[in-house]
Chain A
Amino acid sequence: MIRDRYPKADILAQRGHWDDATREVVLDRVQNVPRFRFFLSHEQATLVALCDRVIPQAHRRADRRVPLAPWIDQSCAQDKLEGFRFDNMPSLADAWRQGLAGLDQTARALHGADFCELDGGRQDGVLRAVRDGSPPGEVWQTLPAKRWWTYIALRQIAGVYYAHPYAWDEIGFGGPAYPRGYFALNHGAPEPWEPREAGGER
């Protein structure tokens, strides 16, 4: 059970203290969630199911859940480059498409149903098989499973999540501090405006 470690955190309430460019970029992320353009409907269902297992958000209030899959869809639609491609991996968009198909192949081999139809426990089993590097499924004969898991699936989904101010609240991150700066530098102390950790912090 995930505890709420910073129950009073609301970093977005500090946005009046941020500079214009930063505020624009963060609010755009919060307010303007893209629509699916790249993945087909079954792929969308697989991706949403995957995101739910990587970053479970059932414990959060419905209006405080962070949309993840639409941002992955957007990077694929733009075929966004991140400075490199492994010589044994396809492009970002192809890697996503193949990997999602691979999750279904592994799910069918292990449990006889598509990934999105399995319960959470079985989905986790599929993901652990991918993480361990040799899951059943034709896709994984050419797509390196471990590398897909770390670089494509986990890093990207977590990258979307921890870019969001609601995730910053969950970990007690003070966030943008320009132009006002940080002043409490010793003993890991919070600024007067920063969230305190539940259960015994100054």
Chain B
Amino acid sequence: MRLHVHLSSDWILDTEMREYRPSEAVDFCIVGTGAGGGVLAQRLARYGFSVVALEAGQWHDSERDMVSDEAGSARLYWNDLRITGGADPLELGANNSGKGVGGSTVHYAAFCPRFHPSDFRVKTLDGVAADWPIAYEEIEPYYAQMEREYPVSGPARYPWGKPHGYPYAPLEAGTAGQMLIKGCERLGIPVVAGGPVAIPAGRYGKRPHCIMRGFCLLGCKVGAKSSIHVSHIPDAIAHGAEIRTGSMAFEVPTDEAGRASGVRYFRTLANGRVLEQFQRAKAVIVAGYAIETPRLLLNSKSGPFPDGLGNSSGMVGKHLMAQAGPVVWGRFAEPIRQYKAPPACACSEAFYETDPRNDFVRGYALQTVAPLPIAMAHLLIDETGCFGEELIEKMQDYNHYAAIGVLGEILPDPRNRVTIHPSAKDQFGLPVPYVQFNLFENDKRMMAAGIARARAVLSAAGATETHFVPRYAHLVGTCRMGFTPQDSVVDRWCRSWDVPNLLICDGSVLVTQGSSNPALTISALAARTADWLRRAVPAGELTTRPRVETPVPAAEPASAVPTNGTAPTPTEARR
């Protein structure tokens, strides 16, 4: 079919896209086209496999569909019905979901830090959460690839985690971002300006430079921001992948041998008609993010898989992690005009690692954020429930606020989970996800410390008063990878322990989340899995279930170990 989509102000993806018949068994059917699925489609197509990627939403044409308007941008989000509960129910939709080609990378702020080496060994180091079956060093080369391919701009030397530099120079900060830098510097807190953010400072290929429009969270009309539908999907299509939009997957059926045979989905045509279709595939990769991925698996029940596909461990849907994202804002006497320039522009990871002086383990990052007017009004409302003249007068100070986002590590807990709601159905008649979330003691202490720190930073920068509201971002962890079929849903290559030709490759496989925005890690894992598939498929590895390997403890270079004096508590040796 012919595609004609604006990806930037002067780049039209005007090309023929290969189409496969649903009856044709393609090498891979991928569910989802975000940070995981999009990179997989691109890699696997380049490696010569036939690929169909199903996307529930549509293309976001940058000229026609993206607007500089908060209230007019609902189509970017996953707004289908979901039920939310638990002691600390999460708001879903808007900032933690995406619908359409590129997934939530279309409207992310584009902070793209790497995880720290310690993130992969939290159980070993702190005695909580779990270790990953892979070490930082195994994903490191793929971080470097993704930082070039997105690309990510940032400082020449980034001092945290395993120190490294960025291939593209930092972008300029607006006044709001400068407040984080100023406050940190006055307090002696290490801080970096200009990244790591996936917005190049200059032109990049067919992508124009950033114009400091400040609407990153509503999709980049300019095309400067690195979203997957701009950075990887065009290349996937050029190499023969089909991106099938309007296609809502609802079941991964299996054959008599217990292998995935393809994906059943509802396809909504341009005229509004909805067809039920079945795409045959030799292997299936689910990349629908931390809610839709477990939902699809749990809704794929059958005789041999009575608790849902790939769920013999009972772990599908468990260990949902939101990232703590309290917003802290200060009022400044001088004007700030926080809506200018990309909200993501400066950060500090000085408090990322466990510090024995704290009353909690793990930590948080401080990042710039810049709420637009409706988002700002919602913060003020959530803080005190204020209304009337009080609300209007506080909003009249809009141009005097600067804000910091505390991005904090919430630990995995099996009680935080995605299940299937017993009665509620969506517009297709499909059972909807039920998301339960609770904060636990370590999470609460970490958030309180992060909020206090951000208030101190804003005060040091000159804020005359500071305020905060709890918020959450980034949902991960509901199909974790692990060492054995009992402790996890997928193995070290993101392959289901139960179904040999089923892979899960998105944020749901993350074991821990650190205080890093997850997109880059999801893409790096996808690139790594694609490289493995390139070898594994011809070697026939997808014909048998994964074997339990004895993992070799990774070498740990001195620079990768946090130097904050943590005494590691060796509670459990790596199996």
Contacts and interface: CB of A to CB of B under 8 A. Distances in A.
Q: Do A and B bind each other?
A: yes
B150 interface: no
A2 B339 CA distance: 23
A139 interface: no
Contacts of B77: 83
Chain B contact-residue range equals 35 or more
Interface residues of A, number: 62
Interface stretch (B26-34, B85-93, B502-510): B85-93
A83 B222 contact: no
Interface string B541-565: 0000000000000000000000000
B395 A86 contact: no
Contact of B67 (A21, A188, A197): A21
A175 B377 CA distance: 15
A86 B84 contact: yes
B531 interface: no
A56 B389 contact: yes
Contacts of A87: 83-85, 89, 434
A187 B9 CA distance: 29
A168 interface: yes
B212 interface: yes
B79 A182 contact: no
A162 B373 contact: yes
B385 interface: yes
Contacts, number: 207
Given A131-B385, A180-B211, A188-B399, A83 B339 contact: no
A170 B337 contact: no
A131 B386 CA distance: 9
B173 interface: yes
A19 interface: yes
B93 A84 contact: yes
B373 A177 contact: no
Given A25-B72, A171-B373, A187 B214 contact: no
Interface string A166-202: 0110111111111111111111111000000100010
Contacts of A3: 396
Interface stretch (A38-46, A94-102, A106-114, A148-156): A148-156
B9 A54 contact: no
A174 B392 contact: no
Given A159-B378, A167-B373, A21 B65 contact: yes
Contacts of B337: 172, 174, 188-190
Interface string B51-78: 0000000000001111111111010011
Contacts of B215: 176-178
Contact of A25 (B69, B85, B392): B69
A2 to B, nearest CB: 6
A53 interface: yes
Contacts of A185: 172-175, 212, 340-341
Interface string B77-108: 11111111100011111100100000000000
A81 interface: yes
Nearest to B220: A178
A175 B70 CA distance: 10
B398 interface: yes
B392 A55 contact: yes
A194 to B, nearest CB: 8
A184 B573 CA distance: 55
A83 B335 contact: no
A25 B67 contact: yes
A48 to B, nearest CB: 15
B213 A178 contact: yes
B204 interface: no
A59 to B, nearest CB: 9
A77 interface: no
A103 interface: no
Contacts of B93: 81-84
A103 B378 CA distance: 22
A22 interface: yes
B68 A18 contact: yes
A31 to B, nearest CB: 14
A85 B82 contact: yes
A158 interface: yes
Nearest to B80: A81
A158 B92 CA distance: 19
Contact of B97 (A2, A83, A86): A83
B79 A83 contact: yes
A10 interface: no
B540 interface: no
B212 A183 contact: yes
A158 B69 contact: no
B68 A22 contact: yes
A63 B547 CA distance: 72
Given A162-B373, A163-B70, A19 B63 contact: yes
Contacts of B387: 53-55, 127, 131, 154
Interface in A38-73: 53-56
B381 A154 contact: yes
A88 interface: yes
Nearest to B172: A185
19 contacts: A3-B396, A18-B68, A19-B67, A22-B67, A53-B388, A55-B391, A87-B85, A87-B89, A150-B381, A154-B381, A154-B385, A171-B398, A172-B398, A174-B339, A181-B212, A185-B172, A185-B175, A188-B335, A189-B337
Give 5 nearest A-B pairs by CB, closest first: A83-B93, A181-B211, A188-B335, A176-B68, A87-B85
Interface of B: 9, 63-72, 74, 77-85, 89-94, 97, 172-175, 178, 211-215, 221-222, 332, 334-337, 339-341, 372-374, 376-378, 381-382, 385, 387-389, 391-393, 395-396, 398-400, 424, 434-435
